[in-house]
Structure formats: C-alpha cells, structure tokens
Amino acid sequence: MKKENLPQDKSALENMTRELCYVKNEDGKYTTGLSTGWNVKTEALNNAWEDINERVKEAALAVKNGVKSPVFYFMELRLMDLHLLKSYTGFWRINIKRHFKPSVFKNLSEKKLNIYAKAFDVSVNELKTFKG
C-alpha cells in the first residue's frame, strides 16, 4: 500500500492511539506510516464492545436475580476470565467458581474479599454491596 492510501478513517481509538503500518513511499521503498484506523476494523471493534457490554449487563442481571455473586460481575466488567482472575488472586479456579455462588460469597472472609477487591480495583464495600 502506498503511504498516501493509508486509511485514516474515524474510530473510537483515534484520539488515543495510532496503528503502525508498513507502506511504500514515493520511491517505492518500505517505510512506516501511522493510521487512525479503517472502517472494517472499526466495525469489528464496535461489535466486540457490544458483545462485551451485553455480557456485563447479563452478569449484573444474574447478580440482581441472586443467581451469581458480585465476583462474577466484576470479573466480566474487568474483562477477565477464570485463568486471569486466578493469576491475580492466587485462588484455584474451582474455588473462584464456588465464589460465584451468592451463598458461598456471603461467607467469604475479609481477607479473601480484600484480595478480590484489589484484583477488581474496587473497595471491599463496593464488592459486598453490589446488587446488580
């Protein structure tokens, strides 16, 4: 692609970052250029964020309905999976799954709640009082 043809379409990240691309200059030699994005990539990114927002809403509803604990909601909100949350907390995945149960969550020690709060970057109070 020639440098003058490098896409500069509007995107959600255009004011935060640029993408480094290899392009040909006027002499036909490869060089680098910065792109703000292109429509196809922007659409894909927007679709991904819609899916993420839907998962977060579903997690909040599950907490509200008493099906899941706030640990599940904050894991979704912070774009974590079980493996990543295990890495942050040191808890085994099976225990984290148990902590998704409201009945188990309400009996968690202050120490465990502090570990989760730190991992999610919220206060223990926010974690304990989140109702969906």
Shared-domain flag, residues 89 and 48:
yes
pTM above 0.85, yes or no: no
Shared-domain flag, residues 32 and 83:
no
pLDDT tens digits for 25-44?
888 899 998 888 788 888 88
Shared-domain flag, residues 46 and 30:
no
Q: Report pLDDT for 13.
A: 66
Q: Which is higher by pLDDT, 123 or 12?
A: 123
Shared-domain flag, residues 11 and 51:
no
Mean pLDDT confidence for 60-75: 98
Shared-domain flag, residues 92 and 28:
no
Question: The tokens of 65 are what?
Answer: 């309905």
Shared-domain flag, residues 117 and 56:
yes
Which pLDDT band, with edges at 50, 70 and 90, does 132 fall under? Answer: confident
Shared-domain flag, residues 67 and 32:
no
Shared-domain flag, residues 69 and 53:
yes
Shared-domain flag, residues 55 and 102:
yes
Least confident range of 8-22, 52-66, 77-91? 8-22
As a three-state string, the secondary structure of the chain is CEHHHCCECCCCCCCCCCEEEEEECCCCCEEEEEECECHHHHHHHHHHHHHHHHHHHHHHHHHHCCCCCHHHHHHHHCCCCHHHHHHHHCCCHHHHHHHCCHHHHCCCCHHHHHHHHHHHCCCHHHHHHCCC
| Mean of per-residue pLDDT scores for the chain | 92
Number of domains into which the chain is organized: 2
Shared-domain flag, residues 46 and 107:
yes
**Contact call for residues 31 and 23 (beta carbons, < 8 A):** yes
Range of the domain at 80: 41-129
Of the candidates 17, 14, 12, 7, the residue with the CA atom closest to the CA atom of residue 47: 12
